[in-house]
Amino acid sequence: MSYRKAKHAGSWYSDSSSELSNQLSAWLHKVDFIHGPARAIITPHAGYRYCGSCAAHAYKQISPELVKKIFILGPSHHFSLSGCALTTATKFQTPLYDLAVDSQVNNELYATGYFDWLSLSVDEKEHSIEMQLPFLAKIMENYKHKFTIIPILVGSLSSEKQVRYGKLLVKYLKDPQNLFIISSDFCHWGPQFRYTYCDTSFEHIYESIENLDHMGMTAIENLSPHEFSDYLKKFGNTICGRHVIGILLNVSVCMIIATCNKTYFQMINLITEDTKMRPNLKFLNYMQSNQCITSMDSSVSYAAGALIM
């Protein structure tokens, strides 16, 4: 058995099972089930003291009794990757309990020829997937032995590759017993991130950042890969999970194709025109780690959303 340790426990989140459980429960208790049952969620992956209350809005939309397999897609921050990679671990540690990897689905994906295997050392350095695990363990705690996870690390993908992975993964999103977790923070603003775009029509920088993020969130809610891609090209917003979100948008397009007699490219143009033809994605919460006032300030934005069928 290959065991992936919870390397960020004790720093990015509590390594005390009781403290962590109470903290997660408190955040989840404060939010409502208003856009579920979720088939996919978009949720941040920063330290819990920054984004935990935001992430709770997404996780609250999950109906744990429905879920059997959970795909967790996170961006690669430290390892150069031009495609997607699968874990070699069979168990993932959390302070609450261990999560079992679905080896059958892993092997199915690897057999397509479009996935690599990820070394355990690289796997443990990356935080984008690990930060989802305690929340996932908490929301699924009454079904802890009745589900498996499929962690997928996502590299820097061209638009063509995002389409390819969308087509590969759509059969899994079609299954109502499957859940997709899309791990992404939003704007990383400030000199340390080498991104200081500011719309001077706003009085404060943090207001410009919020407007910038909400334009991107609107493109995502429209489930339009082209609209989201054009937005990124125009503004260069530093959304670290942009390629992961791109996969979700393309999976959603493929879902629509499955119910309509249209080609992929015909559906791209129709998605925003007919809301009856598509799944429904809605953002439920947005926050920033800091309100930037001067050009020397910095912040990271967080957003929580859920997709339903």
For the question of whether the overall pTM of this predicted structure is more than 0.95, the answer is no
Write out pLDDT tens, residues 68-88. 999 999 999 988 899 999 999
Helix axis angle, 242-259 relative to 159-174, nearest 10°?
60
User: Would you say residue 90 has pLDDT above 60?
Assistant: yes
Closest by Cα among 73, 104, 74, 103 to 90: 103
Structure-block tokens of residue 206: 């943090």
| Domain with residues 39-308, CATH architecture | 3-Layer(aba) Sandwich (3.40)
User: Would you say residue 275 has pLDDT above 80?
Assistant: no
Q: What is the DSSP string of 58-125?
A: HHTT--GGG-SEEEEEEE-SSS--SSEEEE--SEE--SS--EEB-HHHHHHHHTTT-EEEE-HHHHHH
User: Would you say residue 187 has pLDDT above 70?
Assistant: yes
User: Would you say residue 305 has pLDDT above 50?
Assistant: yes
Helix (H) or strand (E) holding 159: helix 159-174
**Other Cβ atoms closer than 10 A to 296:** 10
Write out pLDDT tens, residues 222-260. 999 999 999 999 999 999 999 999 999 999 998 877 665
What is the percentage of the chain residues whose pLDDT exceeds 90?
A: 90
C-alpha–C-alpha distance, residues 96 and 131, integer Å:
13
Report how far apart, in Å, the C-alpha atoms of 101 and of each of 92, 106, 160, 166, 236 are.
7, 8, 28, 21, 35
Structure-block tokens of residue 24: 């997660």
User: Would you say residue 261 has pLDDT above 80?
Assistant: no
C-alpha–C-alpha distance, residues 34 and 37, integer Å:
9
Given the DSSP bridges, would you call strands 84-87 and 69-75 parallel, antiparallel or unpaired?
Answer: unpaired
C-alpha–C-alpha distance, residues 37 and 155, integer Å:
29
Structure-block tokens of residue 281: 């994605």
Q: Are 225 and 249 in contact (CB under 8 A)?
A: yes
